[in-house]
Every structure is written in structure tokens, then in C-alpha cells.
Amino acid sequence: MVKVFLPGAIIGRSTESPLRRLAADVKPADVHTSGAGYSAVMMEDTDTLKLAEAALAPARRFRDEACGAAAQALAACPGHPDAAQHATHALAWIATTVAGLESLVGWARRGRDAGRRGRIDALVLQIGAGEALAALGSGIAMSAAEYARPAELGLTPAAEAMLQDDAVRQLIPGPDAAAARGELAALLLAGQRPDETLDDGALDAIRATVRAFAADRIAPHAHRWHLADDLIPREVIDAMGALGLFGVAMPTEYGGLGLGKLAMAVVSEELSRAWICAGSLGTRSEIAAELIAENGTEAQKRHWLPRLASGEVLPTAVFTEPDCGSDLARVATRAVRAAHGAWSITGAKTWITHAARADLMTLLARTDPARPGHDGLSMLLVPKAAMQDGCDFPDAGLSGSEIPVLGYRGMREYALSFDGFRAPADALLGGAQGQGFKQLMRTFEAARIQTAARAVGVAWNAFDLALRYAGERRQFGRSLAAFPRVADKIALICAETVIARELTHDAARAKDEGRRCDVEAGMAKLLAARCAWTSADQCVQIHGGNGYALEFEASRVLCDARIFSIFEGAAEIQAHVIARALLKA
């Protein structure tokens, strides 16, 4: 059995984080074997896994051919790498699809080895692997309009060779594919779920605890808060702090739980499954904390980290400017030394989430105007007054205005104007000038893992809503789920979300093992962002007209899902970064 600490019973009554107690209490031996309580029909079904394992080799060969093609395309336009974007970004998507397939197979193997593999898991594997291989062979959707097609990349022979492989041929959707999708949808409607066990009793218990918290404190209210454009209530933030959710991966010596990035991903996923805002709120503290933990002076760590971990201090990331978003090296906001060594900040920032309520800004500014690129940038830890008495920005030298947005509500977005705003003399992160961009880059791995996890959570939210509606709504005398095209959608978004989740978890595991994982984290973010959007779009479609009505949650999830391929590295920038790393390797 998985232990669940019911939030109502713990919040506000203990100074020790329930998750900390839980992490210490639960031993790996407590790992359960039936997929978090969902019953799975056990059957001898190793064929699909054997096929998927066998299909990895031809898929990897195809990816390697794509790498060669991208390198050639790049070599053909020396000095103009953007001219080769079609080939390089296609490579990123091809490699990401193969990585997703590898993660899916890893998930299936772990389930088999632990004796957990049921019919539903075999179906997810068959459908997920089949769709991935079919996309590799015929064209991967990089966005709703653009495809990475083998023919355009000169990869037709390589794609044909892959498609002729025996294992690939058997997995690619054929005449029986619709029946498999229908069977998966039926099992899902009957209450079964794909295996989500983490092979670690503590992590499984954390998932169950955060799921119960989110179901109790967030999910029932999220849509009302979204429609009213309310800030997430302070008491919910306090409850999250009491549960330890702001410091899941932060070092224990500074007040965090020290549970690692996989735990952080699971927490982000579960909170986002209830509401994107809840998952994102924790994210902000974790990433600000990592920035400080990795780069700060001892005094900065001692001062800020315990406050961030408890939720007493809420941070906001202040990087983007009206004229530079993707190209952050061009940040123009100036920070200059003023009297007594204090900093004076002048410039304009935009898209700053939770800016009014935040107490701490991690602010990227130019401290050396003689250096126009990233070398002239520094990171400052800038305290600010939180909103009070109806005034969003009470500090002198700082003003802001809200940017009304489609979704991602609950923290609000702001354009900020700094006019000689004062920061203390010790605000410079790590006491080092000119390091800001590099310091920020070092947090990208964790930030992207977390964003991928948030996207996976939103994808599950869409799946949950779609499944429920398809089961309840009747047309032509039958439930919607009985129609093959509706069942297809349910089965496909479920399989893709499992792939995105496993890819995200693998990136987190790599990070926890101290391995460099910039490519893995970027791939997870790229795939999970597409998955969230696809799932939300399909959820709206299943809802028909009601999906378009603001009163239905499907409309919120659609708006929330759209953000993932824009922030934390837009999908195009993400593809660029992945391809560059692959081509260097």
C-alpha cells in the first residue's frame, strides 16, 4: 500500500514537513506492484516489449542518418547556421522521438522486471511505439503546421530501410491498430491506468500525498480562480509551504527536503494536473533556489534558501525585456554601483510572472556596458516589497502593469519599469560580475525538467477531463467513448503522455545521478510541450461545443497548455539547442 498523508490532517499542525517524514519513513521495500492501486490484468505478453526493444536499433540508425544529413546541411551554409534550420530542427525532433521511444521501452522493462506489466501497459507500449515509429518514417509534427519529413531531408532511403525492419513493420499501426486503441480506451474507461510506479516507495508515497493535496485544495477551485483572474490564495501557498513543496529538491542543510529532481518532477506533475499555476509556483522557488545554491556566496545561501524553502519568500524571475526574449544575451537593463556600493537599476522588463506578490527578484542586468553580449551581464538578488494595501508595486523606483493573458493565471504577468531602483550592495549573485548569463544557463537543465513535468501534468489534466466527458456524454444513443474516433483520441493522448512523462523522468534521473542532461531535459520539454497542447486540443474536441465554453474546464486547460512551447525556451529555440548539442557530440 502507498502511504498517503492527508493534507487536512497535517497542514499547520507540524513544523516538520510531512514530506520529509514520509521520505524518511518509506523504504524502497514498500514499493507496490500494482500500479499505484490501479488493477492491471496480468498476462504473459512479452511480444510487444521484445518488438519494441528490437525496433530501437533501426530507429537509432535512422536518427544517426538524420544527424549526418543535418551536418551536411549545416556545412553547406557556412556562417549562416539558421539557413539549415529545417534540417537541424528536424534532427532535434527525430532524436527526441527516438529518445521518447527509448524511455517508453525503459518504462516497460521496469514494469516487466517488477512483475507489474499488465494488458493496459502492453497496449500503451504498442500504440506509443507504433505512433513514434510511424512518425519517424513518414513525418514528425514539429508544430501544428510543420513536419520533419524524410523526403525533405534527403532521408527517404534511410526511412524506407527503417520501415522494412521486421520489428518496426509489426509495430507500425496496421489493420489491427484501431482495435488496440479501442481496447485501451475501454480499459481506461473501466478505471485502469498505465503503470506509474516509480520503483521507489518514497517517491510513490510523495506522488500519492501531493495528488491528495491537489485534489483537496486546488482542483475544486482552480477553474473559479482562473475565470476570476484571481491570484492563487495566500492560504493555499502557506499550505504548500507547510507540506514542503517549495523546497523539494533544495539541499537539506538550507531547509529543503533534498529529495532530488525526480521528486521535484513528480511534485510539479501532480500539482499541474490540478492547475498549472500550482505546479508553476513551486517551480519558481526551486529554480531561484538552484541559482543561489549553485552560484551564491555562503551568506546569500544562508539568507535566502531557508526562506525560499518555507515559502516565506516568493521569488520572481526577471529576465525578459520588450526587445529581447529568446535572445537574452542582449539584455539592456542597466545595474550600476551607486552610493555606499548599493546598486541602481534602470530599464524595462516584461512578462514577469508573480511580480507584484514576489519578495525577491532574480534579475538579469547589464553591469558592463562595454561588453555588449552575455559577458556584460550579471545576476542580482534584489529584495522588493510585496503588493500591499491595493498597491501592486509599493517600492520607489519600480512600477508595473498587468498583462492580461489567455491562461497561466493565478500569479499574473507584469511589465516592469525600473527607474533608479535600489538593490543592496551584496545583491550580486556569488559576488561575481559578468557571470549572470552562465549562472542562468546552469539552471536550465532543472528548469526544463520542471517545465516538462508541468506540461505532463497539464496533459494528464486534459486526459482526465476528456475521459470523464467521453464516458458521461451520450449522442446517438451511445456514450461518446463508444465511437472509434473518440476512443482513438483517448488512447493516443494517454500513450503520448506516458512517453512524455517517462522522458521527463529519465532526464530527472540523469540529473540526480550527476550526469549532464541538457539535451535530455531539452527533449523532455520539447516533447511534453507538444503533448500538453495535443491533449488539450483533443480534450476540447471531445467536449464539442462545451469545450469552447468558458464554464468548462477544458477551455482553461487549452489556454494553459499553449504556453509550454513558448516559455522556458520556445520550441524553435529548444530544437536549435538540442541539434547544436547533438551535432557537437
Ligand X SMILES: Cc1cc2nc3c(=O)[nH]c(=O)nc-3n(C[C@H](O)[C@H](O)[C@H](O)COP(=O)(O)OP(=O)(O)OC[C@H]3O[C@@H](n4cnc5c(N)ncnc54)[C@H](O)[C@@H]3O)c2cc1C
| Interface residues toward ligand X, by CB under 6 A | 317-320, 325-326, 351-353, 405, 408, 413, 563, 566-567, 570, 572-573
- State the virtual CA torsion across 322, 323, 324, 329 in degrees, nearest 10: -130
DSSP 396: T
Q: How far is CA 132 from the centre of its chain?
A: 20
DSSP 391: B
CA–CA separation, 346 and 380 (whole Å): 13
Closest to ligand X by CB, 36 or 405: 405
Q: How far is the CB of 273 from ligand X (least distance, A)?
A: 19
Closest to ligand X by CB, 338 or 566: 566
CA–CA separation, 468 and 237 (whole Å): 29
Q: How far is the CB of 413 from ligand X (least distance, A)?
A: 5
Return the C-alpha cell found at 275: 492547475
Nearest partner of 272 among 40, 8, 531, judged by Cα: 531
Closest to ligand X by CB, 107 or 408: 408
Closest to ligand X by CB, 212 or 329: 329
Per-residue HEC secondary structure of 504-555 comes to HHHHHHHHHCCCCCHHHHHHHHHHHHHHHHHHHHHHHHHHHHHHHCCCCHHH
Closest to ligand X by CB, 271 or 317: 317
User: Does the CA dihedral 175-178-182-185 come out positive or negative?
Assistant: positive
Q: Which residues contact 392 (CB under 8 A, 6 or more apart)?
A: 356, 400, 402, 414
Q: How far is the CB of 567 from ligand X (least distance, A)?
A: 4
Q: How far is the CB of 569 from ligand X (least distance, A)?
A: 7
Per-residue HEC secondary structure of 354-388 comes to CCCCCCEEEEEEECCCCCCCHHHEEEEEEECCCCE
Cell 518509506 -> residue: 26
CA–CA separation, 245 and 247 (whole Å): 6
Closest to ligand X by CB, 413 or 553: 413
Closest to ligand X by CB, 96 or 320: 320
Q: Is 568 an active-site residue?
A: yes
Closest to ligand X by CB, 348 or 573: 573
Q: How are the residues of the chain apportioned to helix, strand and coil, as percentages rounded to the nearest 5?
A: 60, 10, 30
DSSP 29-77: GG--SSSTT----B----HHHHHHHHHHHHHHHHHHHHHHHHHHHHHTS
* Side-chain-facing half-sphere of 298: CA atoms under 13 Å: 1
Q: How far is the CB of 562 from ligand X (least distance, A)?
A: 9
Q: CB of 100 within 8 A of CB of 132?
A: yes
Nearest partner of 355 among 436, 411, 284, judged by Cα: 411
Return the C-alpha cell found at 28: 524502497
Q: Which residues contact 261 (CB under 8 A, 6 or more apart)?
A: 249, 446, 449, 508, 511, 512
Pick the catalytic residue from 65, 183, 413, 568.
Answer: 568
The residue nearest ligand X at its CB is: 325
DSSP 268: H
Which are the catalytic amino acids? 568
